[in-house]
Amino acid sequence: MLNVKCMNETLELKKTVNLPQTNFSQKANLGQSEPARLKKWTDAKLYERIREARKGAEKFILHDGPPYANSDIHLGTALNKILKDFVVKSRTMMGFDSPFVPGYDCHGLPIETYVEKKLAEKGKNKTDLPVSTFRRLCREHASNAMDGQTRDFSRLGVFGEWENPYLTMSNEYEAETARLFGKFLERGYVYKGLRPVYWCIHDQTALAEAEVEYKMHTSPSIYVKFPLKDDAAKIDENLADKRVSLVIWTTTPWTIPANLGITVHPDFEYAAVEHEDEVLIIASELLAFVAVKCGIGGVNKEGERQLPRVLAKFKGSRLDGLKAKHPWIDRDSLVMTGEHVTLGGEADAETELDVADARNRSETGKAGTGLVHTAPGHGHDDFLIGKEHGLEIYCPVNNAGEFTSDVEHFAGENIFQANPRIVDLLRERGAMLFDEKYEHRYPHCWRCKNPVIFRATPQWFISMDKEAQTEEKISLRANALEEVAETKWHPSWGETRMANMLKGRPDWCVSRQRAWGVPIPVFYCTDCDEPVASPEIVNRIADIFQKETADAWYNREARDLLPDNFKCEKCGSANFTKETDILDVWFDSGSSCVAVLETRDNLQFPADVYFEGGDQFRGWFNSSLMCGLAAHDRAPYKQVVTYGWVVDGEGKQMHKSGGNAISPNEVVQKSGAEIIRLWASAMDITEDVRCSDEILQRVTDAYRKFRNTLRYALGNLEGFSPETDKVSFAEMLEIDRWALASLDEAIGKVVNGYETYNFQAVYQTVYNLVTVTLSARYFDIIKDRLYIFAPKSVERCSAQTALYEIADKLSRLLAPILAFTADEAWENLPQQKVESVHLAEFPRVSGADNSQLLADWERIFAIRDEVLKRLEEARSEKKIGSSLEAKVILTTAKETTRFLIPYYEDLRYIFIVSQVEVHEGDALAVEIQKADGAKCERCWNYSLQVGASEKYPTVCERCFEALKEIDQTAVA
């Protein structure tokens, strides 16, 4: 009978304990809950409602650099969009109107190549189709790839106009791209010049790298002397009055007539060596190899080969600017320095550029002389360095592969047939050191299978240094450098990097011999070849593009594009042909600052910020800057933020084939988009951004901590009404005020982190708040008060007031990063008025000076740490079970004892023990004893008063008071 009564009483008592309750579950189930929340957002038109809510507010525009619409998203593109989403969401919560219009880069070679491959699978060829049909197939492919990316990006919780992204292939955009070309024309920046491209002399056409095949080919390999024209004493005193020659190596003797220079590496060591009655210059590291091959140095009496005597050694930079003589043509060959010079070693021949330069290198590993024969009209590197040094892009070879009349001895001759005759001539002139047959991989035409050549052809350029035909007369380069200094760069080294890149960049070659892009809207007079490149005509064409897409260029005849009765200014002819080249895709994406920012009502030029990976210094930051300058004389951005590459856990590049790539879609399915989002905030993005399963596991653990913190706060707010139950700050218990002061401090750091794009600071601040301040300290301590005190007691309401502030403010601070979870927490806050956290604003710092409060509590927690340590020892010594079985005897120095006086009553709760005694002594000492009295059945604290009440004989005096209040409430 007695047992039964006790049991009943226990049950009753348990009901009087305020246990937490919330719908915010412990298990997140993000894989399922996220799609449901996305649907909810879509159904509620949340993005549109945010726009509505911020209408009229100051704008903050992050302009999206368009990813290429060719493949699925990968971790790099996912990170890119998530970081941008952090910016957009956080600026929105700062009160800005921050719309986000995502974009896609839709034109270009990878899509063409893909479509060509698909055609080949069906046994078809690109050239069998009309250009317009081919372009339609490209458009379809880009459109499909784009839809897939849109689905995946929005699944990540990225807000934006996903229904209406900007596409570089849309008719409006193509029209704007053409108009922008007109702007460049208007300023007089555009010119037509020569540039080397692959050329098939059989088909007489330029080829793109995708149109050449690599096959073995036998070429003459020759080592040729170029006599130094300058006084060799300029290199080294030892060489004064000597006959000095520079030794080059090449496998294309036919390019020797076009030689205008010799390039050495500025940092390699070169040697001047004796050979018969002259001196030869060769890279030191290749000296032995070349000496053996060419028989330099001779043979000793025993018949052994001797290395030649070295007269001087010096860095390549010593040769910079000297002049050599062409072996037979009366012309100088300028010595230049270039980083592209190698000491042999074979190019991988993976790309056009590698192969183009392979003619100056060797297949076998070691070859060449470290001095590169440079013919700017016949090689890519040659072209670049030639341009840099103001050399002519000289190409004395016609469409059919014959030398022009310019070339003495060989005019009209086929270049390949001329090869042996050039070797003979070099030998005759005493310029030939050595020649042999040489087998190597060489590019061939994919159609006719003949070897191709590299040959300068006319291309469209945008000049970096021409003065604009405007009042300011400023060049693009000078204007760009001014604007770079005006822009704010994050990290700040971005400014130097961008400035250096601009200082070194050559003129921008904007023409491509491709089909999938915006055609260069220029005509040629059929009769006199005069180009028609005027802004007026370009704008007219752009208007047509706007109605019909740029396909109009291919669907219409020249006369249907030009104004009626249009005549050639030069010869009066009415016959014109259309330019067949398209614009560089970087011109396309660069145009977005005008084509998007100025055509969308809710955006504006310039953007507040561009936010892209570090590879965009050469890419989009650059092309967009050029386009911004052409349109408005200013940079299209006020700030530029860059971040590092995504790499694996060891810092290695991620590769699908390498097995170390992490697919964002797989992580989303398995763990949730929140985990990728939280990862993006947890990493230092100013360096390479690492990711691995292990790292994601750590992030998942952190996620759980964040979630549990929100859950604790929400769970203990059951029945709390912020309107009626809130306790004013002044009336709150001191530790509750301390918790809010800590939160206040965190708010300042978090908002500053968002403002400075330092999301890692946001993460770390919240992580510390959650794990140290809240979980390890505050929540532990207030648990007793929340559970045991009467529901509406001031003690409990004080703690709940703090918890309400914590849940409310933490949800808002986390919303840009944990977009799903913060919104879920927000929904579970009592009496929520705004339906989504994403419509709310960031909390503001109170501005109150809480430094004394925070310092006092740091001091208390330092003592607490000592007490907890001793309690842990007592537990392991089996002196006590739970800490509530303990009584703490604290001895402290006089000053500390005084400091603790106001906290004396609270110390048992702070230490989570039943009793605390404080004694004055020499230094801090902690003694643990068994608590006095009996265990209260309700709160499990020990008290001498248990049994004092007749009504509740098993509870302590504190519980008795609480129960009295609960009884009264029940009666009322």
**Range in contact with Zn ion (rule: CB under 5 A) among 88-96, 664-672, 822-830, 953-961:** 953-961
Q: Which two tokens stand for residue 625?
A: 């800057």
Which candidate, 259, 245, 230, 355, places its Cα nearest to that of 294?
A: 245
The C-alpha atoms of residue 633 and residue 2 are separated, in whole angstroms, by: 93
Report d(CA 792, CA 798) in Å as an integer: 10
Pick the piece of the chain touching Zn ion (CB under 5 A) from 78-86, 351-359, 586-594, 936-944.
936-944
**DSSP category for residue 396:** -
In angstroms, what is the minimal distance from the CB of 942 to Zn ion? Answer: 9
Helix axes 851-876, 734-755, angle to 10 degrees: 110
SS3 content of the chain, % helix, strand, coil (to 5): 45, 20, 40
Question: How many residues contact Zn ion, by CB under 5 A?
Answer: 19
Instruction: Answer yes or no whether residue 200 interacts with Zn ion by CB under 5 A.
Output: yes
Backbone angles phi, psi at 396, to 5 degrees: -85, 40
Task: Report if residue 639 touches Zn ion, rule: CB under 5 A.
Answer: no
Taking the least distance from each CB to Zn ion, the nearer of 228 and 355 is: 355
* 962 touches Zn ion (CB under 5 A): no
By the rule CB under 5 A, 944 interacts with Zn ion = no
| Cβ proximity of 461 and 508 under 8 Å | yes
From 936, 942, 952, 963, residue interacting with Zn ion (rule: CB under 5 A): 936
Which CB, 335 or 956, lies closer to Zn ion? 956
Which of 46, 356, 520, 568 binds Zn ion (CB under 5 A)? It is 568
With residue 354 as reference, give the H or E element that holds it.
helix 352-358
How many other CB atoms are found less than 10 A from the CB of residue 387? 19
Q: Is 533 in the site for Zn ion (CB under 5 A)?
A: no
Segment lying near Zn ion (by CB under 5 A), choices 78-86, 203-211, 244-252, 317-325: 203-211
Residues comprising the chain, all counted? 972
Pick the stretch among 138-146, 183-191, 894-902, 959-967 that binds Zn ion (CB under 5 A): 959-967
Which residue among 525, 597, 662, 880 contacts Zn ion (CB under 5 A)? Answer: 525
Joined tokens for residue 281: 């210059």
Longest pairwise C-alpha distance within the chain: 127
912 touching Zn ion, by CB under 5 A: no
Kindly give the interhelix angle for 494-504 and 476-486, rounded to the nearest 10 degrees. Answer: 180
**Distance, first Cα to last Cα, the chain:** 32
Could you tell me the smallest distance in angstroms from the CB atom of residue 959 to Zn ion? 3
Nearer Cβ to Zn ion, position 74 or 796?
A: 796
Residue 448 contacts Zn ion per CB under 5 A: yes
The bridge status of strand 269-275 relative to strand 205-207 is unpaired
Task: Tell me whether residue 815 or residue 884 sits nearer to Zn ion (CB atom).
Answer: 884
* Nearest in space to 955 (alpha carbons), one of 930, 938, 933: 938
CA distance 354 to 367: 16
Phi, psi of 196 (to 5 degrees): -70, 135
Which of 216, 411, 571, 925 binds Zn ion (CB under 5 A)? It is 571
Q: Does 156 engage in binding with Zn ion (CB under 5 A)?
A: no
Stretch that binds Zn ion, among 443-451, 462-470, 716-724, 815-823 (CB under 5 A): 443-451
CB of 10 to Zn ion, least distance (A): 13
Q: Which of 143, 534, 573, 775 binds Zn ion (CB under 5 A)?
A: 573
- Alpha carbons within 13 angstroms on the beta-carbon side of residue 183 total 19
Instruction: State yes or no: residue 570 binds Zn ion (CB under 5 A).
Output: yes
Task: Out of 203, 467, 835, 967, point to the residue binding Zn ion (CB under 5 A).
Answer: 203
Indicate whether 530 belongs to the interface with Zn ion (CB under 5 A).
yes
> For residues 661-680, which are near Zn ion according to CB under 5 A?
none
Burial of residue 69 (CB within 10 Å: 0-12, 13-18, 19+) is buried
Nearest Cα neighbor of 786 from 776, 770, 798 is 798
Which CB atom, from 202 or from 313, has the smaller least distance to Zn ion?
202
Q: How far is the CB of 909 from Zn ion (least distance, A)?
A: 12
CB of 450 to Zn ion, least distance (A): 5
Question: Is 938 near Zn ion (CB under 5 A)?
Answer: yes
Q: How far is the CB of 115 from Zn ion (least distance, A)?
A: 21
Q: Which is nearer to Zn ion, 318 or 935 (CB)?
A: 935
Q: Nearer to Zn ion by C-beta: 518 or 956?
A: 956
Sign of CA dihedral 594, 598, 599, 602: positive
Rounded distance, CA 293 to CA 287, Å?
10
Residue 532 binding Zn ion, by CB under 5 A = no
Q: Does 528 bind Zn ion (CB under 5 A)?
A: yes
**Helix (H) or strand (E) run with residue 547 in it:** helix 535-548
Let me know how many helices (H) and strands (E) the chain has, helices first: 31, 31
Category of 84 on φ-ψ map: left (φ > 0), alpha (ψ -120 to 50) or beta: alpha
Closer to Zn ion by Cβ: residue 373 or 444 = 444
> Which of 176-184, 523-531, 900-908, 909-917 is the region at the interface with Zn ion (rule: CB under 5 A)?
523-531
* Minimum CB–partner distance for residue 935 and Zn ion (Å): 9
Closer residue to Zn ion, CB minimum distance, 266 or 947? 947
Of the candidate spans 156-164, 335-343, 881-889, 935-943, the one that interacts with Zn ion by CB under 5 A turns out to be: 935-943
Among the listed residues 885, 947, 893, the one whose alpha carbon sits nearest the alpha carbon of residue 913: 885
Report the alpha-carbon angle 488-839-720, nearest 5.
125
Residue from the set 180, 228, 367, 445 that interacts with Zn ion by CB under 5 A = 445
Taking the complex as a whole, the smallest distance from the CB of residue 204 to Zn ion amounts, in Å, to: 8
467 binds Zn ion (CB under 5 A): no
Chain residues that interact with Zn ion, rule: CB under 5 A: 200, 202-203, 445, 447-448, 525, 527-528, 530, 568, 570-571, 573, 936, 938-939, 956, 959
